[in-house]
Amino acid sequence: MNLSKSEKIMEKAKNFLPAGVNSPVRAFRAVGGTPPFIVKGKGSKIWDLDYNQYIDFVGSWGPLILGHSYEPVLKAVSDTMQYGLSFGAPTALEVEMAEKIVSIVPNIDMVRMVNSGTEAVMSAIRLARGATGKAKIIKFAGCYHGHSDSMLVNAGSGALTQGEPDSAGVTKGAAEDTLTAEYNDLDSVRKLFDLNTNEIAAVIVEPVAANMGVVPPADGFLEGLRKLCDENNALLIFDEVITGFRLALGGAQEFFGVRADIVTFGKIIGGGMPVGAYGASKELMQNIAPLGSVYQAGTLSGNPVAMAAGLKQLEILEQNPQYYTEINEKAKFIANNLRESSKKHDIVMTVNQCGGLVCPYFTSENVTSFSATQKSNLEQFKCYFHGMLEHGIYIAPSQFEAMFINVSHSKDDINALCSAADEVLGTL
Ligand SMILES: *Cc1c(COP(=O)(O)O)cnc(C)c1O
């Protein structure tokens, strides 16, 4: 049998990395087959070890909103690294980065830089608990907030129940203060507040749920969360690891006009480097060590090379407000085309889109909840995924991930995606 280079290296990888990968979804378990090992990216394209070219609609899961190997970002990185890779001491770039984030994002006065979205959320939760003196957190089924213990809680449909760990190795103790409500269902949140009077420190939400595909907030949902939090003296945390600097420059707070108390960032904020951040009002951030008693630290946090990449990308986004309109229009165009193709080929499909996030579900249901996302025909998704890959279109290897539209996608790229989808849907 003639193995491709990706298949050969995957065989080796499996000896040294669990399932051959450093993050589970990359292993292609949901769709089968061997993932292409990527060697290079430029603009909207990536290439694998076997010289296959793909138009990339993942963009490293969102961070590369300007596309791959964007010259000014690469230059900022290479200029900065000439002076050294890390000091574990203050550098001016961190201050510039913090000032930039605070000037862009509504309702935050201060930030703390960390190294991933997981870390940002984990720290934001600790801050919420420390500042309120309360223990319980409400999250939503189907929302992903990184892999810290207290956030790995039954993301299934066991709403309104006490937290059940979602992963082996998470103790009942670590999970029991995490309560699960239903996304887009304010009553489920109200019930939890009523059952846990004065015990809820915070509600954490992905303002657009983008880890169960793409589920936008229903009219009034985010506003309702704001109100419930205010009525119950709880903090509202927007996990903007995906939506930040994507829906709009100022993220979901700007896009939907709803204020959050704590905001978490990752992905885009690092321009492709491992960066996260959380921010809040001065009053809340004064709880963070060494000013206050909520401890949080990081040897490589604020790393100058990572700051240089993220800062440059943010500056470019800030200088080009038209990018957001363009991304939104491209995403709308794709969503409409997918809908038309599915009708044409008699494929049952519902396409959700919000800003530069798109997700086709293989179901006739209106996908506004976690339970509706679970109705999608996953066998059909598998065929769709592999068909697209064969047509040189790289999308996330799971139904429950978004398609990330970015600045680098040209008209030709978008048309290539749409015609590939049309052909593939015709074969399902
Ligand atoms: C990706 C993601 C995280 C986790 O970020 P990592 O950098 O992978 O640790 C947290 N929250 C949301 C909404 C995410 O999409």
- Joined tokens for residue 230: 């205010």
Report whether residue 369 contacts ligand 1, using a CB cutoff of 6 Å: no
Residue 144 a catalytic site member: yes
Report whether residue 121 contacts ligand 1, using a CB cutoff of 6 Å: yes
Residue-wise pLDDT for 115-145, tens only, equals 999 999 999 999 999 999 999 999 999 999 9
Predicted pLDDT of residue 353:
98
Report whether residue 330 contacts ligand 1, using a CB cutoff of 6 Å: no
Q: What is the mean pLDDT of residues 317-325?
A: 98
C-alpha 95: how far from chain center:
25
Pocket test for ligand 1, best of 64, 113, 121, 357 (most atoms within 8 A of CB): 121
pLDDT at 159 over 50: no
Q: What is the mean pLDDT of residues 148-175?
A: 72
pLDDT band at 178 (very low <50, low <70, confident <90, very high): very high
Half-sphere exposure of 336 (CA within 13 A, CB side): 8
Predicted pLDDT of residue 161:
46
Neighbours of 80 (CB within 10 A): 21
Residue 239 a catalytic site member: yes
Predicted pLDDT of residue 166:
78
d(CA 301, CA 119): 10
Question: Residue type for 162, please?
Answer: Q
Residue 134 a catalytic site member: no
List the one residue out of 243, 231, 288 whose CA is nearest residue 269: 243
Pocket test for ligand 1, best of 267, 269, 398 (most atoms within 8 A of CB): 267
Residue-wise pLDDT for 77-125, tens only, equals 999 999 999 999 999 999 999 999 999 999 999 999 999 999 999 999 9
Report whether residue 244 contacts ligand 1, using a CB cutoff of 6 Å: no
d(CA 399, CA 358): 11
Whose Cα sits closest to atom 11 in ligand 1? 145
Residue 211 Cα: closest atom of ligand 1 = 15
Asked if 222 contacts 254 with a C-beta cutoff of 8 angstroms, the reply is no
Q: In terms of DSSP bridges, do strands 200-205 and 178-181 run parallel, antiparallel, or are they unpaired?
A: unpaired
How does the average pLDDT of the chain come out, rounded? 96
| % of the chain surpassing 90 pLDDT | 94
d(CA 81, CA 102): 25
Beta strands in 166-254, from DSSP E residues, in sequence order:
178-181, 200-205, 235-239
Predicted pLDDT of residue 163:
61
Q: What is the mean pLDDT of residues 57-72?
A: 98
End-to-end CA distance of the chain: 28
3-state secondary structure of 181: strand
For the ranges 2-6, 157-161, 262-266, 419-423, which has the lowest average pLDDT? 157-161
Predicted pLDDT of residue 172:
87
pLDDT band at 39 (very low <50, low <70, confident <90, very high): very high
- Sheet (strand 200-205) strand order: 110-114, 276-280, 262-265, 235-239, 200-205, 136-140, 178-181
pLDDT band at 321 (very low <50, low <70, confident <90, very high): very high
Report whether residue 6 contacts ligand 1, using a CB cutoff of 6 Å: no
Predicted pLDDT of residue 317:
98
**384 CA distance to ligand 1 middle (Å):** 25
Helix, strand, coil distribution of the chain in percent, nearest 5: 40, 15, 45
pLDDT at 342 over 80: yes
Beta strands in 16-155, from DSSP E residues, in sequence order:
38-42, 45-48, 53-56, 110-114, 136-140
Asked if 313 contacts 249 with a C-beta cutoff of 8 angstroms, the reply is no
pLDDT at 394 over 80: yes
Q: What is the mean pLDDT of residues 270-280?
A: 98
pLDDT at 72 over 50: yes
**240 CA distance to ligand 1 middle (Å):** 9
Residue 61 Cα: closest atom of ligand 1 = 1
Residue 243 Cα: closest atom of ligand 1 = 13
Predicted pLDDT of residue 153:
84
**155 CA distance to ligand 1 middle (Å):** 15
pLDDT band at 158 (very low <50, low <70, confident <90, very high): very low
Q: In terms of DSSP bridges, do strands 38-42 and 110-114 run parallel, antiparallel, or are they unpaired?
A: unpaired
Report whether residue 401 contacts ligand 1, using a CB cutoff of 6 Å: no
pLDDT at 155 over 90: no
For the entire predicted model, the pTM comes to 0.97
**341 CA distance to ligand 1 middle (Å):** 32
Report whether residue 212 contacts ligand 1, using a CB cutoff of 6 Å: no
Residue-wise pLDDT for 285-300, tens only, equals 999 999 999 999 999 9
Q: Which of 48, 136, 139, 144 is catalytic?
A: 144
**144 CA distance to ligand 1 middle (Å):** 7
Residue 267 Cα: closest atom of ligand 1 = 7
* Element at 11 (helix H, strand E): helix 5-16
Q: Which of 48, 185, 239, 413 is catalytic?
A: 239
Predicted pLDDT of residue 160:
40
Predicted pLDDT of residue 156:
40
Predicted pLDDT of residue 162:
53
**118 CA distance to ligand 1 middle (Å):** 6
Q: Which of 267, 312, 330, 382 is catalytic?
A: 267
| % of the chain surpassing 70 pLDDT | 97
Q: What is the mean pLDDT of residues 233-251?
A: 98
pLDDT band at 2 (very low <50, low <70, confident <90, very high): confident
**348 CA distance to ligand 1 middle (Å):** 30
C-alpha 366: how far from chain center:
22
Predicted pLDDT of residue 165:
74
For the ranges 81-90, 117-126, 149-158, 333-342, which has the lowest average pLDDT? 149-158
